[in-house]
Amino acid sequence: MNYHVIYDGNCNLCVSLVQLLETLDQGKLFRYIPMQDEQALQEWGITPVDCEMGMILLDANTPEKRWQGSAAAEEIGRLLPLGSVFVEAYRALPGAKWVGDRFYEQIRDNRYTLFGKRDSTYKSAYCADGSC
């Protein structure tokens, strides 16, 4: 299995989370595409408007399988070793999914104000298109 994480390469929080995933996964499961790489996104049929709704997780083997926003964060967590235990516990808590979705939306919509914006777009060493 191979997944592409489409993230905001100008967002300090987003880049920090990608760097954490890079450390945990070492390119075994996840590859990364910054939302600013419109050419790479076109290959997957993803537009800048699509990116406005938050990060995207794409199954590279079955591209029609996609998760976005908090659903993408949950699926990434589920795919990590032992992550499914935590995701299932979170989903089992009454109201937690609804609160988590609203929390994600607030962070997404205010990420530059809350965490700052990078001067240059971060490109992962584990990029999806092999151009890194």
Residue by residue, DSSP assigns 40-75 as HHHHTT--HHHHTT--EEEETTSTT-EEETHHHHHH
Say how many domains are in the chain.
1
CA pair distance 113, 17, nearest whole angstrom: 17
Is 104 inside any structural domain? Answer: yes
Q: Please give the pLDDT value at position 1.
A: 67
Q: What are phi and psi of 127, to 5 degrees?
A: -75, 155
Is 129 inside any structural domain? Answer: no
Q: Is the pLDDT of residue 129 over 80?
A: no
Q: Please give the pLDDT value at position 82.
A: 83
Domain enclosing residue 105, as ranges: 3-115
Is 23 inside any structural domain? Answer: yes
How does strand 30-34 pair with strand 3-7?
Answer: parallel
Is 60 inside any structural domain? Answer: yes
Is 84 inside any structural domain? Answer: yes
pLDDT tens, residue by residue, 2-34: 999 999 999 999 999 999 999 999 999 999 999
pLDDT tens, residue by residue, 68-81: 999 999 999 999 98
Q: Which residue, 31, 14, 10, 11, is CA-closest to 22?
A: 31
Is 124 inside any structural domain? Answer: no
pLDDT tens, residue by residue, 73-121: 999 999 998 888 888 898 899 999 999 999 999 999 999 999 999 999 9
Is 74 inside any structural domain? Answer: yes
Q: Please give the pLDDT value at position 81.
A: 86
Is 128 inside any structural domain? Answer: no
